[in-house]
Amino acid sequence: MSAATVTTPGQGTQQAPGDRGKLTDEGRIGLRDNVRHIGALARRNALQIKQNPESMFDVVLMPVIFILLFVYVFGGAISGKGNQQEYVNYVVPGMMAMMGINIAMAVGTGVNEDFKKGVMDRFRTMPIARSSVLIAKIVVEIGRMLVATAILLGMGFLLGLEIKTSVVDLLAAVALATLFGASLMWIFILLGLSMNTPQAVQGVAMIVIMPLQFGSSIFAPTSTMPGWLQGFTAVNPLSNLADASRALINGTGAIAHPTLVTLAWAAGITLVTAPLAIRKFRSES
């Protein structure tokens, strides 16, 4: 094999099938090949994490710090009478929504750094679907999101979280949060491909994230908010996701409506931003 590494003359001048007038390209890349390509690229992203374990800090520490912060600093005040216990069950489902958006933001900065590297040129000159590079990234980030959610729930149980429904409902809540988080990643990938520096990506992302996160039912019930803000939270997908998770885990409140709103947002965001991101990646040079 070692010497047979170059093409033999003759292989190089193969004419395209058909005559010069109508050139036909090779067909689209088949599903099986596509899955293999995504697997190979996801392995790359996972190996990068192994090489640089600090990159998991956000996933490991963020849920721990945020849950402690919110339960002990605000929990007593929000639920009244210093009752943190009750607040744990309120805020943990909401924070599942928050994990998604924060990890999705990290995807944007990662893409911005990674996609300027020479190795992207190699991927673009290879016979693979260009979307597979982006999808592989999302696959690995979903994995990171699940780790963060597991840590969040683990902390939640330590602080007295109770699943008042069933494990199936809990898993449904995790699945919904993950699905929505994955759709958000497309937005941040698009942002990461469009901006010049990771700092710029982070700056823009914060402007978008802050109002969505805090103008929602994640941390506190919306009933005390002024009317205009309630109008905003009613359509805010993070509110709907938090409400749906809460209903699934605590067995209180409507499930169908917030779930459908969340799913609609996830579908809408993906349908709009995924093709844009793939096109941007394709034309990037």
Q: Which residues bind another protein (CB under 8 A)?
A: 1-9, 11-16, 23-27, 29, 33, 36-37, 39-41, 43-44, 47-48, 51-52, 117-119, 121-128, 285
Smaller CB separation from another protein, 129 or 179: 129
Smaller CB separation from another protein, 137 or 246: 137
Smaller CB separation from another protein, 85 or 130: 130
- Hey, what are 188's tokens? 């941040």
Smaller CB separation from another protein, 37 or 280: 37
**Shortest distance, CB of residue 43 to another protein, whole angstroms?**
7
| Helix, strand or coil, per DSSP, at residue 28 | coil
Smaller CB separation from another protein, 13 or 223: 13
Q: Is 18 exposed, middle or buried (0-12, 13-18, 19+ CB in 10 A)?
A: exposed
Contacts of 17-22 with CB under 8 Å at 24 or more apart are: none
| Helix, strand or coil, per DSSP, at residue 3 | coil
**Shortest distance, CB of residue 36 to another protein, whole angstroms?**
6
Alpha helices (H) along 115-166? 118-124, 131-158
**Shortest distance, CB of residue 136 to another protein, whole angstroms?**
10
Number of alpha carbons in the 13 Å side-chain half-sphere of residue 252: 7
- Hey, what are 256's tokens? 């169908």
**Shortest distance, CB of residue 184 to another protein, whole angstroms?**
25
**Shortest distance, CB of residue 284 to another protein, whole angstroms?**
9
Under 8 Å between Cβ of 103 and 181 = yes
